[in-house]
Chains A and B, each alone.
Chain A
């Protein structure tokens, strides 16, 4: 297993928004998807996903609905709202700008 990286402060929300932008998922589903997309390279307490979800729900970026899974279990599905989409765009732009700046600084001699 490759050594794991700590998640950068404040980026979990952005990642969740990104994952949800492809369609609704429950909390466990989001975890799996993140794992899959990062090749399990991220080190994060899985539970901390939930406070982040509630905060984003409170802000109106995502909304939740109880549904049945394929295995006929009750689970809470989250999906992006229009505000959430806008938020994702904003955060993506900020992220791009920030990484560009950091990269520029690091590459300079």
Chain B
């Protein structure tokens, strides 16, 4: 309380400084008058009495000063004064101010933006209570730390652990369909969870109830709506509870609505509509197939390492009980709050941040050199201040305040820049990038740091003005003193080195990305329309049966009749994405390989039209036919890579291989070989993996990808496909029916975004570096105009002068480039070890190209001002003396 009163008193003094001062003066004057009156009464003459009173009082000026100190916050007053005089002084040189502000706004702006992305992706805390108790659980293999969990493993984990209060699987899909009464099927984004999901998150329904273990045991079809879906489709009607809707072909009851805090989850731009139950226990026996993501809440007081120990025990038990599936498996547990590495993207965000910081460093170097040039121009003013008694500390403070003023103003403009670029990034991130308090704080801190860090040295050098020299030299300003010039040379070198490093880093990355985007997939993406959907489980069942067969035949036949269509196919996965399945197998007739080195191939299930649809060539043997169906010998078509790897030198036709999974047995006869293909989104694989195809009719699922090749624009087929499907199965909708080319672009869109971002960052860095180098050289040259004039008057040729300055510039550029090349190699080594996208030594030309470009630009930046300087008339220069 006293503190508060004290602050308010100080503020009052600060705000009403005038009144405070005059009251102080009045009080002391009163004192002096009284003392003088005393002396006068003692008989001293009037004048002497005044002197004596003052003598008795002491040094009035110093007492005033002490009194002000007593009031406190003196420094604040001084700061305010400095800010105002700094502002006035900046306003007097608008050219300098504008250039500095633009530089800073760009530099700070891109950093604010990079931080917004970091903030959103990596640092933002999730809205769940006691977040530190939430963990994610992965199944690990020797090769992969972030694998998904099989149904059997999940059930055992759930039933055997003693460390989690709740745990749940979760999986989002956008192939769920809803039919509201009186409407046609609509596809929605839905999340399959178990009854532990919401208790795990620690969030209760806003309306109605949670999923319950009873729902699980009785397999009740109940759904819980998201607030967003409830608001848009049911207008927030509380009577929605207990209502029925058709969900994935079954009647389901709405039992709850979640609060708005869970809104904002999206999949490919569409918001999550509802949660439904995944009856994991149905597949309890299944351990070879894993597709579940797991989230869990630690019991209160249980530490992460306790949980880890427990899970290791369970994993060991599973490995012992189910060696076929679990021998090599472990279980990994991570805190949810900092778990972004396994999902990719994290590294790239850090890379972008590092590059953004480099841009800021370049901008800062520009700021420093601009300020240095300015203090050189102002050396006379500064010398006068020194001569009039300002201390060096005072001068430094003045110059630093100006620098701070600039950087804070630049930071404010940077926020505007960031707002633009955030809007641009947000469109790719499926979320908004708000400039919240954390981002604002970051911008403020970085602006302050920039102002201080890059203002300090120029201020220190500026304050070393030589009073005598500066005042004697008249209006010309002092010749730039040597240390200042040297400092500016260093700045040029640093800027060049940084820009070179930035450009090389970005260059390699962009080249690596481009190589992925441009690579030959060995199949034809043009003119193919594709989309996925799923058939309702209880009417169609999960696996191959007569209903699947009938549906597929009917559907494909109807699609073939659409105008322009010349090939149609269904498949279990999409070649534009990632492999949808894989199998560990044994080549029949060969000895069993050692454990852990069993043959492995990715796998898809396709109908006979698949190879025609995608332009995949049959090299040997035959295609699938309608005779390959349930009950006939099981056949496979393999790719060249698989043929060469497992049947080297012999024809694989007629050879057999079989699954080693006891739950998924099967023996396959190879009937054909097709060319190698790459999956569109499987970007890290540069060499085609072993891959084989099974006949869809011999083993089908209720999950479909449909593909149509047409001779006309495939977009025009969309309505036809939708109508065809609705005619056969009204409960099902296709959410994303689009061209394969769009799907490819979509699965690579994040790469394109990164490529574009890096290119732009590098471009910005280059631009700032050029401006900086040009500025420094131009300034150094201008400062030596008089010297040029003298030399030319003495007979030097313009050519000689240009050469003199050019030599200077070239030397600087080469030094900068040399440092930059060294830094680039270091950076490259780091990048290569963390990011597989970055190409290795196979692209040495990138660094050569960047070095050439940058050095060339630097030389031009030196040449232009040098040439201009030689155009001056020596007579004019000398007369100006």
Q: Which residues of A are in contact with B by a Cβ distance under 8 Å?
A: 26-28, 31, 45-48, 50-52, 54-55, 57-60, 66, 73-76, 83
Contacts and interface: CB of A to CB of B under 8 A. Distances in A.
What is the interface of chain A mostly: helix, strand, loop, or mixed?
A: helix
Interface string B1-41: 01001100110000000000001101110110011000000
Given A47-B28, A50-B27, A50-B28, A55 B70 contact: yes
B645 interface: no
B10 A50 contact: no
Contact of A26 (B30, B35, B69, B72): B30
What is the interface of chain B mostly: helix, strand, loop, or mixed?
A: helix
A40 B56 CA distance: 13
18 contacts: A27-B31, A28-B34, A45-B57, A45-B59, A46-B35, A46-B57, A46-B58, A47-B60, A47-B63, A48-B58, A48-B66, A50-B31, A51-B66, A52-B70, A54-B24, A66-B23, A74-B30, A75-B30
A47 B57 contact: yes
Contacts of B26: 74
Contact of B56 (A46, A55, A73, A75): A46
B2 A54 contact: no
Given A27-B27, A76-B27, A54 B57 contact: no
B592 interface: no
Interface of B: 2, 5-6, 9-10, 23-24, 26-28, 30-31, 34-35, 56-60, 63, 66-67, 69-72
B5 to A, nearest CB: 6
A75 B30 CA distance: 8
A58 B10 contact: yes
A77 B661 CA distance: 98
A43 to B, nearest CB: 11
A51 B63 contact: yes
Given A58-B6, A58-B10, A59-B6, A51 B69 contact: yes
Contacts of A60: 2, 5-6
Contacts of A59: 6
A31 B32 CA distance: 11
Pick from B9, B26, B27, B30 the residue with the most CB of A within 10 Å: B27
Nearest to B65: A51
Listed from nearest, the 9 A-B pairs whose CB atoms lie closest are A45-B58, A54-B70, A51-B66, A47-B58, A47-B63, A55-B70, A47-B57, A51-B67, A28-B34
B63 A50 contact: yes
Given A47-B57, A47-B60, A31 B72 contact: no
Contacts of A48: 58, 63, 66
Nearest to B54: A47
Given A58-B6, A58-B70, A60-B2, A47 B27 contact: no
Contacts of A28: 30-31, 34-35
A17 to B, nearest CB: 16
Contacts of B10: 58
Contacts of A47: 28, 31, 57-60, 63
Contacts of A27: 27-28, 30-31
Contacts of B5: 60
Contact of A31 (B2, B23, B31, B66): B31
Contacts of A76: 23, 27
Contacts of B23: 66, 76
Given A26-B30, A27-B30, A58-B72, A50 B6 contact: no
Contacts of B35: 28, 31, 46
Contacts of A54: 24, 67, 70-71
A45 B34 CA distance: 15
B778 to A, nearest CB: 53
Given A58-B9, A59-B6, A60-B6, A51 B70 contact: yes
Contacts of A74: 26, 30
A26 B24 CA distance: 12
A52 B34 CA distance: 20
Given A28-B34, A46-B35, A58-B9, A83 B27 contact: no
Nearest to A83: B2
Contacts of A26: 27, 30
Contacts of B71: 54, 58
B72 A46 contact: no
Nearest to B35: A46
A49 to B, nearest CB: 8
Contacts of B9: 57-58
B24 A50 contact: yes
Contacts of B6: 58-60
A48 to B, nearest CB: 6
Contacts of B59: 45, 47
A74 B31 CA distance: 12
A47 B5 CA distance: 27
Nearest to A32: B34
A100 B27 CA distance: 38
Contacts of B2: 60, 83
Contact of A50 (B56, B67, B72): B67
B330 to A, nearest CB: 66
